[in-house]
């Protein structure tokens, strides 16, 4: 029972870390990255459809995203979706493909994005700590079935796991902030 609890907690903490990695991939760094437009939905024949299902997204050079729709009729809708999103990029539509030039980031914008990354990492840490609290509560429910030493061992295992994931979050944040400051 206790090992199942520990494995379940580790899986939840891993999911929180993976979510942070996904969040970081959507933060623009001045380089083209298909993840910038991954979460966009396009109104396609009356249905919200993920962009990846409507087009291939490629990076022909470090400062350009190229979106090639499978159906040419969806070009205008894809372009509209990009313009209405909060990614702050201006697509150009030539009738065949959509090109999105990635402008270099200003110093002010880099600092703003650094704050966004910090907030995302803090949210991930809160999530990890919530998982820890849940785990400790579950361990305390096992008082009747386990010795005090066993409960302490489980609590210390949960705390070690928490520390490990918080450290990973800090490392990811440092890498992302360095990436943002890189010109």
pLDDT of residue 122: 96
pLDDT of residue 19: 94
pLDDT of residue 105: 78
What are residue 66's DSSP bridge partners? 58, 99
Q: Which two tokens stand for residue 75?
A: 């070009």
pLDDT of residue 183: 60
Judge residue 99's burial from the number of C-beta atoms within 10 Å of its C-beta, 0-12 exposed, 13-18 middle, 19 or more buried: middle
Q: Which two tokens stand for residue 63?
A: 């400062």
pLDDT of residue 160: 95
Cβ atoms 59, 32 nearer than 8 A? yes
pLDDT of residue 72: 86
pLDDT of residue 128: 95
pLDDT of residue 133: 95
pLDDT in tens, the chain (183 residues): 678 888 999 999 999 999 999 888 877 777 777 877 877 888 888 888 888 888 888 888 888 889 898 888 888 888 888 888 777 778 888 888 889 888 887 888 888 888 989 999 999 999 999 999 999 998 888 888 888 888 899 899 999 999 999 999 999 999 998 888 876
For each of the domains in the chain, give its residue range(s) and CATH number, in order of start.
Answer: 2-26+106-181 (1.10.132.20), 34-101 (3.30.1360.40)
Task: List, in sequence order, the alpha helices (H) in the chain.
Answer: 2-25, 51-54, 75-84, 107-140, 148-181
């Amino acid at each position: 029972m206790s090992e199942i609890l520990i494995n379940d907690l580790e899986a939840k903490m891993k999911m929180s870390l993976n979510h942070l990695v996904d969040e970081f991939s959507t933060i623009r760094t001045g380089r083209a990255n298909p993840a910038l437009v991954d979460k966009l939905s396009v109104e396609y024949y009356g249905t919200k459809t993920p962009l990846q299902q409507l087009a291939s997204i490629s990076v022909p050079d470090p400062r350009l995203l190229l979106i090639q729709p499978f159906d040419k009729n969806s070009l205008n809708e894809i372009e509209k979706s990009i313009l209405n999103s909060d990614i702050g990029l201006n697509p150009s539509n030539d009738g065949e493909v959509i090109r999105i030039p990635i402008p270099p980031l200003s110093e002010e914008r880099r600092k703003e994005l650094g704050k966004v990354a910090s907030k995302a990492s803090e949210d991930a840490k809160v999530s990890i700590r919530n998982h820890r609290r849940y785990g400790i509560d579950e361990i305390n429910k096992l008082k009747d079935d386990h010795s005090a030493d066993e409960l302490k061992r489980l609590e210390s295992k949960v705390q070690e796991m928490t520390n490990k994931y918080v450290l990973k979050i800090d490392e990811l944040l440092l890498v992302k902030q360095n990436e943002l400051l890189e010109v």
